Amino acid sequence: MNIRNVLVIMRGEESHLEKLRQAAPEAEVIRQSVKTLTDEQIEAADVIVGNLPPERLPKMKKARLLQLNTAGVAAPYLALGQTAPDTVLCCASGAYGPAISEHMLAVLLMLMKRLHQYRDDQHQAAWVDHGTVRGLQHARVLVVGLGDIGQSFARLVSLMGARVAGIRRRAGTPPEGVEQVATMEALDRLLPQADVVALSLPETKETIGLMDVRRLGLMKQNSYLINVGRGSAVDQEALLAALQSGHLAGAGLDVTVPEPLPPDHPLWQQQNLVLTPHISGQYHMQITHDRIIDIAAHNIRALREGGQFIARVDYASGYRA
């Protein structure tokens, strides 16, 4: 396909724009912020790189590739399967693994080593010993959502001696660091065995409310829950109760419902919770930003030359095809 206009609406350095120009030398690559983006620019674009605001999706007239800069895909984008079936939709799955998995590991170790308590004590000049701590050697870790992020986290914790099981949509050969792979039907069976449950799931009909009162109750006494996927996967009131009762030793949330979490929400004050404002991914690590651009450049070439796309989204499932 001849590409004449590439519209970039995500942040990018000049080196990033140059990579996109090299992917489509005949095209004009236009960088525009979402705030100043015009309908005419959207209508003229053959390729759009970045998350076009959902309310402006109908303005796409000729785009044959919409390259999202997020790994997850919100429902309005999946509707393009009906309204713009000739448009290839790709996400940025594969870009976020290193950054988010390291965040997950850092939060988990913070909880296990009680570093959050010592940090709080520091502000009070309190020299207090909080007692025994735990580690990952021989710990059982259940990774729910064994995509790029989940697999990266599995490798990290396995290197520290953990025994890892993973859950994904289809069973298959376990990736590096994972001992066994199961489907969602096995979740209730595996939850009571896990010292750590790590969620890295997109938001779909199947994942909303996944960790409800019943499933949080199935979790092992004194276990940990980490969620970096979407806040809707966890019943926050039930999680709060599980933390307050001592059933769970701790939790780490980088995602909530809603976002931002209201200042008066009790989760802010829960001592055995580490709460971050959805910052584990985004562009906080340079490698993430670079990988998103690399995926976009590859997919632009695939569109031009008829090659295979990276992280092409299946409109029916909302996952990578």
Peptide bond into 260 cis (omega under 30): yes
Q: What is the CA radius of gyration of the chain?
A: 21
253 in Cβ contact with 273 (< 8 Å):
yes
Answer yes or no: are the C-beta atoms of 85 and 63 closer than 8 Å: no
Q: Pick the catalytic residue: 119, 189, 259, 284?
A: 259
Name beta bridge partners: 29.
Answer: 6
Kindly report the CA angle at 313 between 203 and 75, in degrees rounded to 5? Answer: 40
Residue that has been written with the tokens 């990276």 in this structure: 310
Q: Which of 230, 291, 304, 320 is an active site residue?
A: 230
Q: Which of 64, 278, 301, 312 is catalytic?
A: 278
Measure the CA–CA gap between 25 and 3, rounded to whole angstroms: 9
With beta carbons less than 8 A apart as the criterion, state whether 4 and 28 touch: yes
For the question of residue 185 being annotated catalytic, the response is: no
Q: Which amino acid is at 304?
A: R
| Residue 305 annotated among the catalytic residues of the structure | no
Sheet holding 273-275: strands in order across? 180-182, 163-167, 140-144, 196-199, 223-227, 248-253, 273-275
316: left (phi over 0), alpha (psi -120 to 50) or beta: alpha
Catalytic annotation present for 289: no
Report the C-alpha gap between 300 and 4 in whole angstroms: 11
CA 175 → CA 167, 179, 180, 300, distances in Å?
A: 12, 8, 9, 29
Q: Which residues of 285-313 are buried (b: 16+ CB within 10 A; e: fewer)?
A: beebbbbbbbbbbbbbbbbbeeeebbbbb
Burial of 38 (0-12, 13-18, 19+ CB in 10 A): exposed
Q: How far is 289 from 294, CA to CA, in rounded Å?
A: 9
Residues identified as active-site: 230, 259, 278
